[in-house]
C-alpha cells in the first residue's frame, strides 16, 4: 500500500517536480513553483491531468481561459488542452497533480524548472512503457 499525507509531503518538497508514485495508468507528482515562476505552457496530447493546489496563489490558464487558484482548488486539464499555471503570489505555489497515463520518468526529481526542461529536451524524462 502506498499512503501519503499529500499536503504535508507536497509542502515539505522544495523541488519544482518530484514523482511520488507511478502506476500502469496514472502517476502522482508534487510540484513547487517559486514566486514569479510557472509550469510553462504545454499540451499533453494523450494525457489527462488533475491538479490540486495545496498552498500559495496562482493563475490557471487552460484552453484560453484564466482563473485564480488558491489552496483547495482543483483544476482538470483534458488531454490535448493547452495549459499553464503561474505563481502570482509572494510564496511558493505548491500542488500535486495526477497524470493519466504517466507523463514523467518514474521517481524523477527536478529541483528547478530549468533542470526539468533540460531533462525533457534530452529525452531523460520519459514515462515507463508497459
96-128 confidence digits (pLDDT tens): 999 999 999 999 999 999 999 999 999 999 998
Neighbours of 71 (CB within 10 A): 14
Average pLDDT, the chain: 96
Which pLDDT does position 129 carry in this prediction? 78
Beta bridge partners of 55: 94
Which pLDDT does position 98 carry in this prediction? 98
Q: What is the pTM of this model?
A: 0.94
Kindly state the percentage of the chain with pLDDT values over 90.
97
Rounded CA-CA distance 43/84 in Å is 9
Amino acid at each position: 500500500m502506498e499512503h501519503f499525507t499529500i499536503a504535508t509531503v507536497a509542502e515539505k518538497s522544495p523541488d519544482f517536480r518530484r514523482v511520488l508514485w507511478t502506476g500502469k495508468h496514472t502517476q502522482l507528482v508534487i510540484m513547487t513553483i517559486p514566486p514569479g515562476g510557472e509550469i510553462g505552457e504545454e499540451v499533453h496530447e494523450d494525457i489527462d491531468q488533475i491538479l490540486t493546489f495545496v498552498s500559495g496563489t496562482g493563475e490557471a490558464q487552460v484552453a484560453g481561459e484564466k482563473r485564480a487558484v488558491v489552496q483547495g482548488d482543483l483544476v482538470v486539464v483534458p488531454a490535448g488542452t493547452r495549459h499553464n499555471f503561474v505563481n502570482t503570489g509572494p510564496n511558493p505555489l505548491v500542488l500535486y497533480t495526477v497524470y493519466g497515463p504517466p507523463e514523467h520518468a518514474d521517481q524523477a526529481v527536478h529541483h528547478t524548472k530549468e533542470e526539468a526542461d533540460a531533462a525533457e529536451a534530452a529525452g531523460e524524462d520519459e514515462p515507463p512503457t508497459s
